[in-house]
Amino acid sequence: MSRKGAALLRGLAATAAAGIVATVAATPAAAEPKHEPSGEPVVIAHRGASGYVPEHTMEAYRLAVRLGADVIEPDLVLTADGELLARHEPELSDTTDVEARPEFADRKTTRDVDGTEMTGWFADDFTVAELKTLRAEERLPELRPRSAAWDGRFELVTYDEILDYVEGLGREVVTYPEMKHPAYYDDMGLSIEDALAETLAERGLDEEASPVWVQSFDYESLVEIGEAIDNPIGLNIGGSGAISDADLDLYAETLDAISLSKNRIVPRDADGRLLDATDVIERAHERGLEVHVWTFRNENAFLPADFRRAHGDAEWGDYMAEYELFYDLGVDAVFSDFPDSAIAARD
């Protein structure tokens, strides 16, 4: 896999309101890439505008684009007929009405997913035609009752449908697919890497300058797909704690970005209050790596204690202060359930 310039990711991050055509200029990669300060952080609509309507639906992606998101992020799982479905997990009961569908009662089963036993209904037991009969449901109904009011109305969508949609837009919108649980599919003799690489190749989107970035929590999966495609690639790293220089050196040789949980950049104490920021952004930038950060949500339940307001978990706290903190630290992109809030804080 060739090294891609950090400027490519920045060049695709055009700020635009809905309906305005953005002009995108890509800068060639340097022989020895060094990070340069970006103009504005990229706003990635996490599972679409998932703070407002059920995630991973066409309505969520369309709303994200109308709100001005630079990038929309679909998580991808495999179906029984080998298609890529936009869902957060292979198991469907948390985000669809499958549990209430008697015609599929016999599909309930228990699987091991990356060492965790899960019981429910799995997308890889359904064809796309069957999945199209299901309807999406809000994953966090207690925190997002307004989104839950849309339960039962929206279809599930495939990645092909998402690509069809963005190709018809009047401005550049990047898709940033995340391959979910590659090892789960490997254990069944399937390959989500092959499915994604083939989809991108068929559409001529497997090139460095195409508006598709690829991500996963599985480093080996990214190395594998990186041999088949030339797109920018980012590794998701959750949890907390320091990332070693040796690991950053490895990522810089093989990837374009690291996508970090917020706690990797600004840790929190036992009471949820912010501690001093780490130096991971500076060290990653020195190696030419982009730094993306997840996930920004407006509700008190997800904010550091410093920014919560004296209301319930579902009420919105001082989310603008959190965006400003991370923007000031120099992150290159943010994943947000509320892309309009991320844009307002940035602009």
Q: Tens digit of pLDDT for each residue in 78-120?
A: 999 999 999 999 999 999 999 999 999 999 999 999 999 999 9
What's the pTM value of the predicted model, to 2 decimals?
Answer: 0.89
Return the closest-CA partner of residue 319 out of 306, 310, 328.
Answer: 306
Q: Tens digit of pLDDT for each residue in 121-148?
A: 999 999 999 999 999 999 999 999 999 9
The strands making up 257-261's β-sheet, listed across from edge to edge, are 84-86, 75-78, 178-179, 214-216, 233-237, 257-261, 290-296, 333-336, 42-46, 71-73, 174-175
Mean pLDDT of the chain: 90
Domains of the chain: 6-346 (3.20.20.190)
Report which of residues 40 and 4 the model is more confident about. 40
pLDDT of 337 over the 90 cut: yes
Report, as an integer, the average pLDDT of 156-182.
97
Q: Tens digit of pLDDT for each residue in 295-319?
A: 999 999 999 999 999 889 999 999 9
Q: Tens digit of pLDDT for each residue in 53-87?
A: 999 999 999 999 999 999 999 999 999 999 999 99
Return the closest-CA partner of residue 73 out of 48, 41, 42, 43.
Answer: 48
